[in-house]
Amino acid sequence: MKTPIRIGYGYDTHRLVAGRKLILGGIEIPHHKGLLGHSDADALLHAICDALLGATNLRDIGFHFPDTDPQYKGVDSRILLRDTFALVKQKGYVLGNMDATIIAEKPKLNPHIPAMQAVIADILETEIGNISIKATTHEKTDAVGNEESMIVQAVVLIVREG
C-alpha cells in the first residue's frame, strides 16, 4: 500500500431510546434519550472508524470489534477509535483530515461540536482544524425526523508518512 493519499467513507446509525446516555463524539450530551447499542453506541466515532478502515482497506468496525463479543459490551468507543487509528499508523499513514455529518432531529448539537472536535483530534493525533463535524436535521421526516434514530456519515483522507 504505497498510495500517497487515500480516501475512506463511513456510515453508522443507531436507534435513539429512553434510558440510555447520549454519547456522541466521545462526549456525553444531556438529552432524555440515548443511542442504543452493544457498545456505548457512539455513532460518530463508529462512522469515523469505518472511514479509517475503508481508507486502509481493512474491512469494517464489526469485523474488528464484533458486537457479539462480550469484551465490547458497553465499551467506550474512544478505545475503538484509538485501536482503529493504530491500524492506520501501522500501515504507514497519518490523518490528513476528517469531515462528518451528524443527522439528528434533537438535541441541538452545535454547542457540543467544539468538545467533540477536541476529543477526536486528540485520538487521531491531529489539530482541531483537521476535524470537521457538521450537524443537520432530517426535517422531521422518517425515523431520524421522528427522533427514533440518528445517522452519521464521515469521510477521511489519510496521508502516507515520509
- Amino acid (1-letter code) at residue 30: P
Instruction: Find the angle CA(157)-CA(160)-CA(162) to the nearest 5 degrees.
Output: 145
Site string for Mg ion, 34-53 (x = CB under 5 A): ------------x-------
**Grid coordinates in use for 15?**
436507534
Among 6, 8, 12, 105, binds Mg ion (CB under 5 A): 12
Cβ closest to Mg ion, residue 13 vs residue 159: 13
Judged by beta carbon, residue 83 or residue 127, the one nearer Mg ion is 83
9 φ/ψ angles, rounded to the nearest 5 degrees = -125, 140
Q: Does 105 help bind Mg ion (rule: CB under 5 A)?
A: no
Place of cell 482503529: 84
Minimum distance from residue 14 beta carbon to Mg ion (Å): 6
User: How many residues belong to the site for Mg ion (CB under 5 A)?
Assistant: 2
* Shortest spacing between CB 48 and Mg ion, in angstroms: 11
Query: Per-residue b/e over 78-92, b at no fewer than 16 CB within 10 Å?
Result: bebbbebbeebeebe
Which residues are near Mg ion by CB under 5 A? 12, 46
